[in-house]
Amino acid sequence: MSEFNNKVRMGMVGGGQGAFIGAVHRAAASIDGEIELVCGAFSSSHENCLATGKALNLNPNRCYADFNEMFAKEAALPESERMQFVAIVTPNHLHFPVAKAAIESGFHVMSDKPATFTLDEAIALKAVLGNHDVLYGLTHTYTGYPLVREARQRIEAGELGEITKVVAEYSQGWLAEAPGPDNKQASWRLDPKRAGVSCCMGDIGVHAANLAEFISGLAITKLCADLAPVVAGRELDDDGNVLLRFENGAKGVLIASQISVGEENNLNIRVYGTKASLEWHQMEPNTLIIKYSDKPSQLVRTGVGNFYPSAASSVRTPAGHPEGYLEAFANLYMDFAKQIRAFKNVEATAKLVSQAPGIDEAIRGMAFIENCVAATRSEQKWVDFKLENVL
């Protein structure tokens, strides 16, 4: 391989033709020119896998029938040619077995969220990682937005004072009616055998919870939840409301819904402190609003003025050129590529400005989902946020 072609080499499990999120991962990974897709086990249908590989101009010999074959054959290739990490973009029930097999085969892992099918699997995955010298990343996409990172660092610097309240909402309307039989995105998310114990909270509520903890810098310690299927005939929730308590005593509210008619991808967060508050909306991602009680509000725009390092390093275009979902996703892939390049170099790793969410965020995400389900089933008002099996 030419010394000039030193891109980080990626494989993919899932994401065959007809899948939404796989194409998003591939586009995001390619934006900065640092990562190259070299192989895949894109589908349980080998015909679909080969067709996907052909559409992506991949060598058909590196389009594999299943992930076990891919890991075995890639591991046998020269180190300069084999994939370095795998992106997992399958339905939830396959995340753990794919990640475990990849780690045990010596490959780094970047997984779509939620990390696993159950909290027990996420805990087991951390144990597997402890026995193998590889990296693990999780695509909590919204942590990749520049102004989300700016908000986190402003709070960390004390600009809001002590945090007193957090309000997070993620509302959609695409499941307000029963989907057609050909809607693949809906079919597996509403199937407990493939999605797990939750649809709405597992699909989008966990993003809101991750964002609340990421920006505030506070861990959720207690919650009171009410999850339910609104559309008749569903086994899993499509709507949920959660009251939160954080480690410093702050209160919180989290709303997640997929039956809110007319809503597109309405993820937003407000964080209140004793000195100021801030507000960010995913559908207007280039704006961060800072509010005060004794002076005019401040409108922070991406690319205008000085930013904290993690935000500044995440901006690609001049002010006024909107950056959005794909770029936020790309920031996580860029972070992960940098981690791989710096791998085993403690000094280089310490200099990294940002890093993709990892196994600890994976466990907290799965714990949030299962604690919400457990709280909904319980007659107790408040339940402790437990990082162990609660179902």
Indicate whether 327 belongs to any domain: no
Q: Looking at the structure, tell me whether residues 310 and 163 fall in a common domain.
A: yes
Instruction: Output the domain CATH number for residue 62.
Output: 3.40.50.720
Indicate whether 330 belongs to any domain: no
Indicate whether 391 belongs to any domain: no
Q: Looking at the structure, tell me whether residues 178 and 126 fall in a common domain.
A: no
Q: Looking at the structure, tell me whether residues 126 and 149 fall in a common domain.
A: no
User: Looking at the predicted structure, is the pLDDT value of residue 165 above 70?
Assistant: yes
Quickly state the pLDDT bin for 35 (edges 50, 70, 90).
Answer: very high
Indicate whether 124 belongs to any domain: yes
Q: Looking at the structure, tell me whether residues 18 and 117 fall in a common domain.
A: yes
The per-residue pLDDT for range 253-309, each reduced to its tens digit, is 999 999 999 999 999 999 999 999 999 999 999 999 999 999 999 999 998 999 999
The per-residue pLDDT for range 122-134, each reduced to its tens digit, is 999 999 999 999 9
Query: Which pLDDT score, from 0 to 100, does residue 314 have?
Result: 94
Quickly state the pLDDT bin for 360 (edges 50, 70, 90).
Answer: very high
Query: Which pLDDT score, from 0 to 100, does residue 183 have?
Result: 87
Distance of CA 16 to the CA centre of its chain: 20
Query: Which pLDDT score, from 0 to 100, does residue 346 have?
Result: 86
Please give the Cα distance from 57 to 30 (Å, whole number): 14
Domain encompassing residue 218: 145-317+358-376
Indicate whether 345 belongs to any domain: no
Q: Looking at the structure, tell me whether residues 130 and 188 fall in a common domain.
A: no
Please give the tally of structural domains in the chain. Answer: 2
Indicate whether 68 belongs to any domain: yes
Q: Looking at the structure, tell me whether residues 300 and 172 fall in a common domain.
A: yes
Nearest to 256 by CA among 283, 279, 280, 226: 226
Do residues 202 and 369 lie in contact, with contact meaning Cβ atoms separated by under 8 Å?
A: yes
User: Looking at the predicted structure, is the pLDDT value of residue 39 above 50?
Assistant: yes
Q: Looking at the structure, tell me whether residues 137 and 150 fall in a common domain.
A: no
User: Looking at the predicted structure, is the pLDDT value of residue 3 above 60?
Assistant: no
Query: Which pLDDT score, from 0 to 100, does residue 18 have?
Result: 82
Q: Nearest 5°: CA angle at 95, between 36 and 88?
A: 10
Residue where a domain terminates, one of 141, 164, 191: 141
Kindly provide the b/e burial profile for residues 290-317, where b requires at least 16 CB atoms within 10 angstroms of the residue's own CB: beeeeeeeeebebbeeebbebbebbbbe
Do residues 204 and 149 lie in contact, with contact meaning Cβ atoms separated by under 8 Å?
A: no
Q: Looking at the structure, tell me whether residues 152 and 238 fall in a common domain.
A: yes
Q: Looking at the structure, tell me whether residues 229 and 369 fall in a common domain.
A: yes
Indicate whether 383 belongs to any domain: no
Q: Looking at the structure, tell me whether residues 99 and 181 fall in a common domain.
A: no
Query: Which pLDDT score, from 0 to 100, does residue 1 have?
Result: 41
Quickly state the pLDDT bin for 2 (edges 50, 70, 90).
Answer: very low
Residue where a domain terminates, one of 87, 114, 141: 141
User: Looking at the predicted structure, is the pLDDT value of residue 4 above 70?
Assistant: no
User: Looking at the predicted structure, is the pLDDT value of residue 359 above 50?
Assistant: yes
Higher local confidence (pLDDT), 87 or 320? 87
Do residues 39 and 70 lie in contact, with contact meaning Cβ atoms separated by under 8 Å?
A: yes
Quickly state the pLDDT bin for 322 (edges 50, 70, 90).
Answer: confident
The per-residue pLDDT for range 207-256, each reduced to its tens digit, is 999 999 999 999 999 999 999 999 999 999 999 999 999 999 999 999 99
Q: Looking at the structure, tell me whether residues 132 and 42 fall in a common domain.
A: yes
Indicate whether 270 belongs to any domain: yes
Please give the Cα distance from 335 to 361 (Å, whole number): 15
Instruction: Output the domain CATH number for residue 275.
Output: 3.30.360.10
Residue where a domain terminates, one of 114, 141, 168: 141
φ/ψ of residue 307, rounded to 5? -130, 160
Query: Which tokens in the block code for residue 329?
Result: 């996703």
Average pLDDT value over all residues in the chain: 95
Q: Looking at the structure, tell me whether residues 84 and 172 fall in a common domain.
A: no
Alpha helices in the chain (DSSP H): 20-30, 46-55, 67-75, 95-104, 119-130, 146-156, 184-189, 192-195, 200, 206-216, 309-312, 325-341, 346-350, 359-377
Query: Which pLDDT score, from 0 to 100, does residue 273 have?
Result: 98
Quickly state the pLDDT bin for 374 (edges 50, 70, 90).
Answer: very high
